[in-house]
Structures are given as C-alpha cells and as structure tokens.
C-alpha cells in the first residue's frame, strides 16, 4: 500500500512523529512555523490519516451508527438526512445499519456495537420485540443511545418522538367528523411503542364520540405488500366493510390505495383514508391523501443533536423530546 504515514512525514521534515501528530491536530504547543511546514508537507505528500489507528489509540471512532428497519421509506430516509446533516457538521461519520424489521438482526448489530465501532447510537427499533440487554450494556460502557420515533418504553434512554397518541386521536376524530361509523386501524406490530400510542389515541377518539371500540378493527399487517393488499381486499369486499381507515404506517396507506383501486372502490365516497405518512406525493395522489405528517427531518436532527450533546457532556440525560406531527386534510377524507 505504500501509504504516507505520520512517520514518513516526520522523517521528511526532520521532526518527530509526536510533533507532526500534534501539528496536524493544531495543538497549541506547536509553533506556527512548524505547523505550517507540517501542513505543507502533508499536502505535498498527499497525506491522509489512518482513521483506524486514530480510533484505536483514542478509543473514539468519530462515527455514529444509525440502526433502523429500512431506508426505502420516506420517514426514515428523511430522518437520515437530518441525522447526517448534524453528523457531517460535527465531523462524524454515519454508519447505516438496517435491521429489515428483524429483532435478531437488530440484536446482532447492537451487540457488535459493543466492540466500539461507533461512539454513539441512534436507533428506531424494529417491529419485533426489542431485547434491551445490548442497549443496557452499551449504556454501561458509556456509549450513548438515543431512540427516535420507534422508542423502547422500558428503557431509560434519551428519546425523540412525535405526539403519536394525539395525532392518532386527531386522525380518528377527523374521520368521525367526516361521517365515518367504523374505522379500521392498520398497524404492523402491536408491541411497537408507537403502535401502542397510536392505538390509544384512536381508542380515545372513538370513546369520546360514543363509538364502541371493536378489537377486530385493529388490523395487524405484515411486511409483505402483497399479503397486505390481499387482506385489505378481503376486508374491503365485505358488505359491512369499514368506512374509514387509518394507516399507521406509510406503506400501508399506499397499499390501501392499491387495494381500493383493484376493487374499484372510491375514496373517499366508499371509504375514507388517512395515513401516517411523509410521502412527498401525498398531495398528488388520486385522490390526494390526508396525512399525519411527521417531522422526519427534524426528528433526525433532534436525535442527532441529543446524541452529540451526550457525546460531549459524557452525561447521558434521558431526556425526551416530542416534536408534533401535523394533520394535513386532503381529499381522501373529503
């Protein structure tokens, strides 16, 4: 590889490696003139530091890991943009680790993080049950962990969430006001904190409006689009199908549209639809989709900001930040 190392720079400059290292780090104990010489030589020889040597020595990787279910989802990709904006600003790298909604994968990733690959972790947990042990170990080791969106309630970490419960309340309330009598609630996993919160908000709205909650209106969906569409078609083909649907996950909203299209059902006449979604195309859909829009980018930024605060303070305060979502009424509930 014949790489240019600090030693080589030092030899060329007739200096010690230590001095060169300090000069490159802009240490105050090095004279301006030496710094200048070092920097020039570094540029001339096209020196690039070996990050791993530095990490090993300093026990810091200048890297944060983002652990999340997938990236092909508007919420997550926007959140990554927010995270990355902060990280880049702080001179940190972002390792993206996808769990594909598999608890085992998530555990493996987190366990691996114990090795010190990342200085801090941002996580939006997968829909299967989260095993808190690795998280706890990470915290014990002083690796700050910040949950965002899909948090783990049992854990005492910093968290960034949106107002899931009241958003779901608003969604359900809006549907009821629009005339819906039976509202189905689509979810991917009931043991996910946000699902739970959202279901509570939904229930609350029903209660308040004197509609009795039917357990069968909570529709557990899968991660397979086709299966969901089949299921939705079955439900929507019934004589007494729901006249309102809340899709608590972006993808599910799309699938409802697909199912309706295939069945020839009219939105909002036959069924009104509202989705938790960050789709840029929401307003362009046929019909335009009423959404609960989450502040994805801001949540990413906020989570990263909390993480870096923990990283500098060394004190990991388990604060909780709530950034409100917004109900955007469009034609699908009109």
Looking at the Cβ atoms of 108 and 218, the one nearer to DNA is 108
Q: Which does 188 bind (CB under 5 to 8 A by kind): a copy of itself, DNA, none?
A: none
Pairing of strands 320-322, 158-161: parallel
Looking at the Cβ atoms of 126 and 176, the one nearer to a copy of itself is 126
- Check binding of 18 to DNA (CB under 7 A): yes
C-beta of 12: minimal distance to DNA in Å? 12
Please state the separation of Cα 148 from the chain's center in Å. 6
**Residue 67: phi, psi to the nearest 5?**
-105, 115
List of residues contacting a copy of itself (CB under 8 A): 1, 3, 46, 48-53, 55-56, 59, 61, 63, 70-74, 77-78, 80-81, 84, 88, 93-98, 111-112, 114-117, 137, 141-142, 251, 254, 257-258, 261, 279-281, 283-288
C-beta of 6: minimal distance to a copy of itself in Å? 12
- Check binding of 211 to DNA (CB under 7 A): no
From residue 31 to residue 70, what is the string marking binding to DNA with x (rule CB under 7 A)?
xxxx--------------xx--xx-xxxx-----------
Pairing of strands 183-187, 290-293: unpaired
- Check binding of 314 to DNA (CB under 7 A): no
Pairing of strands 272-276, 244-247: parallel
Q: Which does 312 bind (CB under 5 to 8 A by kind): DNA, a copy of itself, none?
A: none
C-beta of 92: minimal distance to DNA in Å? 15
Looking at the Cβ atoms of 32 and 46, the one nearer to DNA is 32
Looking at the Cβ atoms of 176 and 304, the one nearer to a copy of itself is 304
- Provide CB contacts within 8 A for 25, sequence distance 6+: none
3-state secondary structure of 325: coil
The DSSP string of 1-35 is: -----HHHHHHHHT--HHHHHHHHTT-TTS-HHHH
The DSSP string of 69-85 is: S-SSSHHHHHHHHHHHH
- SS3 annotation, 118-138: CCEEEECCCCCCCCCHHHHHH
Q: Which residues form the interface with DNA (CB under 7 A)?
A: 1, 3, 5-7, 14-19, 21-22, 24-25, 28-34, 49-50, 53-54, 56-59
């Amino acid at each position: 590889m014949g790489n240019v190392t600090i030693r080589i720079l030092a030899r060329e400059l007739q200096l010690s490696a230590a001095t060169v290292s300090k000069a490159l780090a802009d240490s105050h104990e090095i004279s301006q003139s030496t710094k200048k010489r070092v920097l020039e030589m570094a540029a001339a020889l096209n020196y690039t530091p070996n990050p791993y040597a530095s990490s090993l020595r300093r026990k810091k990787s200048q890297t944060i890991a983002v652990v999340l279910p997938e990236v092909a989802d508007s919420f997550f990709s926007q959140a990554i943009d927010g995270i990355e904006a902060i990280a880049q600003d702080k001179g940190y790298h972002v390792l993206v680790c996808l769990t594909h909604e598999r608890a085992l994968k998530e555990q493996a990733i987190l366990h691996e993080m114990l090795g010190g690959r990342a200085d801090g972790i941002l996580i939006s947990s997968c829909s299967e049950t989260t095993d808190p042990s690795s998280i706890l170990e990470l915290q014990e080791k002083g690796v700050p962990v910040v949950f965002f969106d899909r948090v783990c309630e049992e854990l005492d970490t910093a968290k960034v969430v949106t107002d899931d419960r009241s958003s779901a309340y608003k969604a359900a309330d809006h549907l009821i006001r629009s005339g819906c009598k039976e509202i189905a609630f689509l979810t991917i996993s009931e043991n996910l904190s946000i699902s739970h919160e959202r279901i509570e908000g939904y229930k609350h709205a029903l209660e308040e409006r004197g509609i009795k909650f039917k357990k069968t209106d909570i529709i557990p969906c899968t991660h397979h689009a086709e299966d969901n569409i089949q299921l939705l078609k079955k439900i929507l083909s019934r004589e007494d199908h729901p006249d309102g649907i809340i899709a608590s996950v972006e993808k599910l909203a799309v699938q409802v549209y697909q199912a309706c299209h295939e069945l020839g059902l009219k939105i909002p006449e036959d069924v009104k639809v509202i989705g938790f979604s960050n789709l840029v195309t929401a307003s362009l859909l046929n019909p335009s989709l009423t959404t609960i829009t989450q502040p994805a980018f801001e949540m990413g930024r906020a989570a990263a900001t909390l993480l870096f605060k923990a990283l500098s303070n060394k004190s990991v305060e388990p604060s909780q930040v709530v950034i409100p979502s917004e109900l955007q009424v469009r034609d699908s509930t009109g």
